[in-house]
Amino acid sequence: MDKSTSKKGFFNKFLDFVEVGGNKLPHPVTLFFIFALAIIIISGIADKLGLSVTYTGLNRATNSIEEMTVNTRSLLNGEGIRYIFNTMVGNFTGFAPLGTVLVALIGVGVCEGTGLMSAFLRKIVLATPKSAISAMVVFAGVMSNVASDAGYVVLTPLGAVIFLSFGRHPLAGLAAAFAGVSGGFSANLLVGTIDPLLAGISTEAARLLNPTYEVTATANWYFMAVSTFIITALGAFVVDKIVEPRLGKYTGEYKGDMNELTDLEKKGLLSAGISIIIFVGVMLYLTVPANAILRVNGNLNAWTSNGLVPTMMLAFLIPGIAYGISAKTIKNDKDVASLIGKSLGTMGGYLALAFAASQFIAYFSYTHLGTILAVKGADFLKNIGFTGFPLIIAFVIITGFINLFMGSASAKWAIMAPIFVPMLMQLNYSPEFTQIAYRIGDSTTNIISPLMSYFAVTVAFAQKYDKNTGLGTLISTMLPFSIVFMLGWIVLLFIWYMFGLPLGPEAYIHM
């Protein structure tokens, strides 16, 4: 990529060092295989040394707080070697982002191939002030996390396309969307799927001291809503003032199309709009009524967990076909099938990356090294002797560090909540306050952690615009977001702390 030749300050030089150093490493596919091999060797050594931890945590199988001992599981003994061979295919096919990306790409590919994506974005470009685009993309990313993982596979690549349509660097748009979706995971105007999950864990931890205590799904809602605007503003600032100037002018083969819409394109957009209105109406019928088809026992948990990605796929596929028919860019079903095949055919590099990454992540989970690291990190924080708000800052930072090695927000919280919720309750801090401090640390380092499932996906998306993109490129691009988000969120939390503002309905900082 073309980098700015202007004089660079210390921070930009540091980011260049991170990028160059990271990109001198082997290809990401090779690197993940090396990581996997390292985990195999480390697990064998740790097992020989008898590395283990005992902690009081939430047993998610029984949903009760228990004292548990976790031992390192070796991948170098007979059982471990059998695990490597017998789960290799399952690790790959069960890799969460794999099916999500490929299914979503069916709809997105048709939407892009028929010309709907280009026409729609040109219409947005012609009607939207250029100065508002960065904030719009970050905000859309933050809001998308209410739909679980859909933002990673739809909005992240779309951010690149939007920026390109404005004549801006596509990797800056990709970074803006990724920062909103992942770095802003604990900000939203709505209550998302993760809120009741974390609240349930916090409730069980709080009941170690107060058997009747309950943390509700809306416990952090007020703080999250304000955070949405703070993260949007900070993300737009980082994109415009740090990331895009550092990336320089985009000189790749992809170009933004800024021509006025033709009559056929306008007709196609009208057809696409009518089709999406009908589709939304059908989805409302399937989800809103109390006895709706997609509701199970009155709730939509199954649909929001498993059905959102197919819904997103149809939300792109249906208007894409409607547009193609009206704009005469597709003639029959063979053209649609061809567009789907062409779209999926571009993901060969991602499939290789997903195979390597899935093995590494599965091995890390199997060996329990992430759990041991989380418990050791928690013990360290308990023993450093901080009190007051410095303790909360230390908690956020340690959580962010642990997040680099253990991606699942709920799995980490199941380990950390029974330690820190009662500990901070004894210091008069509410479980709701401890939970939001945890969520800040958990969110802000998602975007620089190769262990985060969708990190490899984002590398693959970036390579479409710059084939030389590696782990170093993405980490150095996202690091300013990570730093600024953490600092900004800590300042916001301090303001909340100083004024004693409610975190959510009937949820306060102090007991």
Summarised one tens digit per residue, pLDDT across range 164-205 is 888 899 999 999 999 999 988 888 898 776 787 788 889 888
pLDDT band at residue 5, thresholds of 50, 70 and 90? very low
Q: Is residue 345 part of a domain?
A: yes
Print the domain residue range for 235.
10-499
Q: Is residue 507 part of a domain?
A: no
pLDDT at residue 46 above 60? Answer: yes
- In angstroms, rounded to a whole number, what is the distance separating the alpha carbons of residues 378 and 495? 25
Q: Alpha-carbon torsion 345, 347, 349, 355, what sign?
A: negative
Cβ count within 10 A of residue 497: 17
- In angstroms, rounded to a whole number, what is the distance separating the alpha carbons of residues 464 and 248? 17
Identify the top-confidence range among 147-161, 221-235, 239-253: 221-235
Q: Is residue 42 part of a domain?
A: yes
- Per mean pLDDT, which range of 321-330, 463-472, 488-497 is the poorest? 463-472
Closest by alpha carbon to 330, among 70, 65, 114? 114
Q: Is residue 365 part of a domain?
A: yes
| Residues β-bridged to residue 507 | 504
Domains held by the chain: number: 1
Mean local confidence (pLDDT), 339-365:
86
Ordered DSSP codes for 287-315: HSSTT-TT-BTTB-HHIIIIIHHHHHHHH
pTM of the model as a whole: 0.75
Q: Is residue 504 part of a domain?
A: no
pLDDT band at residue 435, thresholds of 50, 70 and 90? very high
Please state, in angstroms and as integers, the Cα–Cα distance from residue 179 to each residue in 231, 290, 328, following that order: 9, 36, 37
Please report the pLDDT score of residue 4 as a whole number: 45
- In angstroms, rounded to a whole number, what is the distance separating the alpha carbons of residues 357 and 31? 9
Q: Is residue 506 part of a domain?
A: no
Q: Is residue 455 part of a domain?
A: yes
Cβ count within 10 A of residue 307: 14
Mean local confidence (pLDDT), 198-216:
86
Share of the chain above pLDDT 70, in %: 95
By CB atoms closer than 10 A (0-12, 13-18, 19+), residue 362 is buried
Cα-Cα-Cα-Cα dihedral of 290, 503, 152, 377, to 10°?
Answer: -130
pLDDT band at residue 7, thresholds of 50, 70 and 90? low
Question: Which position has the higher pLDDT, 257 or 10?
Answer: 10
- In angstroms, rounded to a whole number, what is the distance separating the alpha carbons of residues 396 and 344? 40
Cβ count within 10 A of residue 456: 27
Please report the pLDDT score of residue 432 as a whole number: 96
Is 181 in a helix, a strand, or coil? helix
pLDDT at residue 49 above 90? Answer: yes
Q: Is residue 510 part of a domain?
A: no
Is 343 in contact with 106 (CB distance < 8 Å)? yes
- In angstroms, rounded to a whole number, what is the distance separating the alpha carbons of residues 28 and 450? 10
